[in-house]
Amino acid sequence: MSIDGRVSGRLAGKVVLVTGAARGIGEHTARLAAARGARLSLVGLEPDRLAALAAELGPGHVWFAADVTDQDALATAVDGTLATLGGIDAVVANAGVANRGTIAVGDVEALVRTVEVNLIGVMRTAAATVPALVDRGGYLLVVSSAAAFAALPGMAAYCASKAGVEQFGNAVRLELAHRGVAVGTAHPSWVDTDLVREARADLPAFEAALARLPWPLRRTTTVAECAGAFVRAIERRSRRVYVPRAVAGVQAVRSVLVSPLADRLVGRTARATVPLIEEQSRALGRGFGAGTPQGRP
């Protein structure tokens, strides 16, 4: 804060567009970025929550209801942001979902929707915002996961989508470097969001399996800690973001995590837990958490 009461710092006056901004990591990232002087464009599926957040943040912040799998809706959100805020300096492609069930037991449409939102939604967000980012030499942060480094039963679509986001970010970083746009990939482990809490509540067998994971994969991080890491990444134009930082060690041994040895070790637990996850998923009768906004059918 400057002596005349105005917010100063790397984000002061910068325009940051966040998808999945209605709750969880996106909401908290928006709050923290605004506290550091950024002007926010809040994009998501829950207009009431988005409107309330924008009002709470105060003048200079806007919101748009948009499904990240709908290119026209994203274009409208970007055009509206440019018209009201004048440009875009950073984008956090954060919107994500996690389905219930396995490939054998579960709604295939929920698996497909998970990939559509988590991976295709990131691609569409990037495509919609890159021209504006090029204009300002901006920064794009795509949200992958620690799940990009390790395969977990019951999370096939989620792991696949987040691995795809990582490689998409790696390739787009090279494509945009000569245009002055920096690209980062974020890799949180478990974060205390509605999405994670609902998954644990819906599937007790899944919760038990998580408790047996090695550290740091079994650790749950606060939303505030994750948002802090994301905002620092925007300020520093970071190439990689790990939440918690120890996830960097997981990335370093990723080849071991998908090796035959890992298959044998994880498989011992999976033989018991997967049937339970499937039984609980079948009884649940839905493909997503009760609080997950579904967007387009």
Catalytic (active-site) positions: 158
H or E stretch covering 23: none
User: 173 is written with which tokens?
Assistant: 């970083």
Q: Where are the beta strands (DSSP E) in 50-181?
A: 62-65, 90-93, 139-143
β-strand 15-19 against 39-44: which pairing, if any? parallel
Question: Residue 105 corresponds to which amino acid?
Answer: V
Question: What are the CA-CA distances from residue 113 to residues 57, 116, 173, 180, 187 (Å)?
Answer: 31, 5, 26, 33, 21
Q: Which residues pair with 190 in a beta bridge?
A: 220
For 139, the 3-state DSSP assignment is: strand
User: 240 is written with which tokens?
Assistant: 């990689």
Angle between helices 121-136 and 156-176 (to 10 degrees): 20
